[in-house]
Chain A
Amino acid sequence: MGHDAHETDAAAAVDFKEVQSTERFQELRKRHRSFVFPMAIAFLLWYFAYVLLADYAVGFMSTKVWGNINIGLILGLLQFVSTFAITGWYVSYSNRRLDPIAAEIRHEIEGHEFDKAGNRVSGTTK
């Protein structure tokens, strides 16, 4: 992609396989996946459970709870609530558990700690 090569120079000399194999990167990867995968599966199951109920349990969904408010409307609004809640949860998890460690690794790479030259000298600049 010749024309934009200069833009990626910052990372061109980095040994990414070395970064990938470090314990800290593995920890970041694990923290990320152990949150997003179960959460993605959970909200998809909850959404499809709702769709199935609306499709095949019309009687149950039509049960009036309070005035004209029925179970279907409550479950539907709960989908909104759970979406907002998962959003908030993910943001706070990322701020606490992902961003600090990602920033650390990024600074080390940008400080040339993982250059292909092999000598791991930290804190020096070329």
Chain B
Amino acid sequence: MIGMVPAVNVAALKDTTLLNMGIFGLFVAVTMFIVIRASRNNKTAADYYAAGRSFTGPQNGTAIAGDYLSAASFLGITGAIAINGYDGFMYSIGFLVAWLVALLLVAELLRNTGKFTMADVLSFRLKQRPVRIAAAISTLAVCFFYLLAQMAGAGSLISLLLGISDWGGQALVIIVVGALMIMYVLIGGMKGTTWVQIIKAMLLIAGAAVMTFWVLAIYGFNLSDLLGGAVETSKNPAVLNPGLQYGKSETSKLDFMSLGLALVLGTAALPHVLMRFYTVPTAKEARKSVVWSIWLIGIFYIFTLVLGYGAAALVGADTIKSAPGGVNSAAPLLAFHLGGPLLLGFISAVAFATILAVVAGLTITAAASFAHDIYANVLAKGKADADTEVKVARRTVVVIGLLAIVGGIFANGQNVAFLVALAFAVAASANLPTIIYSLFWRRFTTQGAVWSMYGGLASAIILIALSPVVSGTKTSMIQTANFAIFPLSNPGIVSIPLAFFLGWLGTVLDKKLEDTTKQAEMEVRSLTGVGAEKAVDH
């Protein structure tokens, strides 16, 4: 078994295009049917934004896993392990450990104090307008970066999975993906979106489990032999050791620290993840959701370890790199090697479904934030009725969907991996300090929140703009100019401590004290769940 020649014929992949499309079409038909059935009861704002708070912990936990295991983590991490070995594995560890921040510090307290959006919690005991506007802006920024990365990633996936390599054909597929997403979110609201996430998560995890079992079976369920196979094919024993990707220089080592910080502190502040905690009836169910998602995500990342080294051993890094789609093609190529066109078709369809579902989750979060925070609470000063608010949310969905399609078409083929890292860095810098301070620090004030949120947002974006990912190197967005005065590609190690510092500084310099009654109310509510919104009865 060991040392057998990888036998993947990349040219043969194109013959499976029809099969891939057929399986994907089946997924769309089944989920659309479920979305339409599930949306019959969408009446109130709580129905539309928070699925009537009627999902159970396990259901919501599966949906969170569906939201979180984006194409970047499935195709990206498998590919990173296949090419860079151990360093790809370190990625997945940061993504998983981050969930403990959500579990211990955020999920339940947030569920108890908020209604629909992150801004509900942050503005609870501070001044509504400035804090809500800042929270909504950072929510929209994070969703936008994340959305653009997913849509642009769709383009490169298509070139591999459907064999469509011309720009126009890829643009057409991005339009189809965007249009489907708009339909899901318009018709189904949060309930429909959640069901799409649940189905997708189960398919993804089941597909990865089958492939993992298969790879392990080839190596007699001996992990050491599998690793040996990866070394043999790559002819490089260093794939088992850290440092292949990040150990090149002192700067790249520091970059990995920065990335690790952003991953660990960013997850619990991603608006589309936070919003999922409102879809369950109680804080206890919110806790159960996180527990489920930790188990599902953790097990999935263990699968990607086997799949990544499996792809390195059975397909080979050179074949992967030269295939259309590059690093991202490791998992699909491994599927083809193991189970032929049928398994490739299944995995491809799941990868598409992943993009569709994650984009839908991001869109409803952004729309809810615009309609609930900006429109209802700031523009209409809280006088808008719930029907109008939901109407505004639905229109926002269409606008965001169209923006995502246009952005996806133009960002297609760009180096967009940094957009996801940027989304995490912005979430960790702009959102997390204010979430933590307002939940745990009695003295925290409006000025502290505003300084921390705008300071974190601005520093993260400015540092990215001045970093090598935007200019100065061969892999930059702008290769012809060089204004990269910040050496790291992830801003987290500077912007996150800065935002925490600004939150503290703004507070101690604030002469106005906040309402202690509101602080008492928030603390009592967050810990006991009194007055928290229950499930909607139908």
A17 to B, closest residue via Cβ: B520
CB within 8 Å of B: which of A22-42? Answer: 25, 28-29, 32-33, 35-36, 39-40
A72, B93: Cα distance in complex, Å:
12
Are A105's CB and B530's CB within 8 A? yes
Partner of B241, one of A70, A102, A110: A70
Are B97's CB and A87's CB within 8 A? no
A73, B309: Cα distance in complex, Å:
12
B284 to A, closest residue via Cβ: A99
Are B298's CB and A73's CB within 8 A? no
CB contacts (< 8 Å) of A1 on chain B: these are 376-377, 382
Are B529's CB and A106's CB within 8 A? yes
CB contacts (< 8 Å) of B516 on chain A: these are 17
Interface size in chain B (residues, C-beta < 8 A): 64
Most chain B beta-carbon contacts within 10 A, residue among A28, A83, A91, A110: A83
**SS class, residues of chain B in contact with chain A:** helix
Supposing A3-B389, A47-B264 touch, asked if A79 and B97 sit within 8 A by C-beta, the answer is yes
CB contacts (< 8 Å) of A43 on chain B: these are 97, 100
Are A11's CB and B382's CB within 8 A? no
CB contacts (< 8 Å) of A58 on chain B: these are 241-243, 247
Partner of B100, one of A7, A54, A83, A110: A83
CB contacts (< 8 Å) of B384 on chain A: these are 3
B283 to A, closest residue via Cβ: A102
Any chain B CB within 8 A of the CB of A124?
A: no
CB contacts (< 8 Å) of A56 on chain B: these are 253
Are B524's CB and A20's CB within 8 A? yes
Are A29's CB and B523's CB within 8 A? yes
CB contacts (< 8 Å) of B382 on chain A: these are 1-3
Any chain A CB within 8 A of the CB of B521?
A: yes
Any chain B CB within 8 A of the CB of A94?
A: yes
Any chain A CB within 8 A of the CB of B89?
A: yes
Any chain A CB within 8 A of the CB of B99?
A: yes
Any chain A CB within 8 A of the CB of B209?
A: no
Are A3's CB and B385's CB within 8 A? yes
A86, B256: Cα distance in complex, Å:
25
CB contacts (< 8 Å) of B94 on chain A: these are 47, 51
Minimum Cβ distance to chain B for residue A49 (Å): 11
| Contact mask for chain A residues 75-86; partner B; CB cutoff 8 A; 1 contact, 0 none | 011011001101
A101 to B, closest residue via Cβ: B528
Are A109's CB and B528's CB within 8 A? yes
Supposing A40-B100, A83-B100 touch, asked if A19 and B527 sit within 8 A by C-beta, the answer is no
Any chain A CB within 8 A of the CB of B246?
A: yes
| Contact mask for chain A residues 1-17; partner B; CB cutoff 8 A; 1 contact, 0 none | 11110011011001011
CB contacts (< 8 Å) of A121 on chain B: these are none
| Contact mask for chain B residues 498-538; partner A; CB cutoff 8 A; 1 contact, 0 none | 00000000000000000011001101110111110100000
Any chain A CB within 8 A of the CB of B302?
A: yes
Q: A3-B384, A14-B531, A87-B291 are in contact. List 11 more A-B contacts (CB 8 A).
A: A10-B531, A17-B520, A39-B104, A47-B260, A54-B242, A67-B222, A69-B223, A72-B86, A73-B89, A73-B240, A83-B298
The interface of chain A, by Cβ under 8 A from chain B, is: 1-4, 7-8, 10-11, 14, 16-17, 19-20, 25, 28-29, 32-33, 35-36, 39-40, 43-44, 47-48, 50-52, 54-56, 58, 61-62, 66-70, 72-73, 76-77, 79-80, 83-84, 86-87, 90-91, 94, 99, 102-103, 105-106, 109-110
The 22 listed contacts between A and B (C-beta, < 8 Å) are A2-B383, A3-B383, A3-B385, A7-B533, A11-B525, A11-B530, A20-B523, A25-B528, A32-B527, A36-B105, A48-B257, A51-B256, A51-B257, A58-B243, A67-B224, A67-B225, A70-B241, A72-B241, A80-B302, A83-B298, A86-B100, A90-B103
Which 4 residue pairs of A and B lie closest in terms of their CB atoms, listed nearest first?
Answer: A67-B224, A11-B531, A68-B227, A62-B241
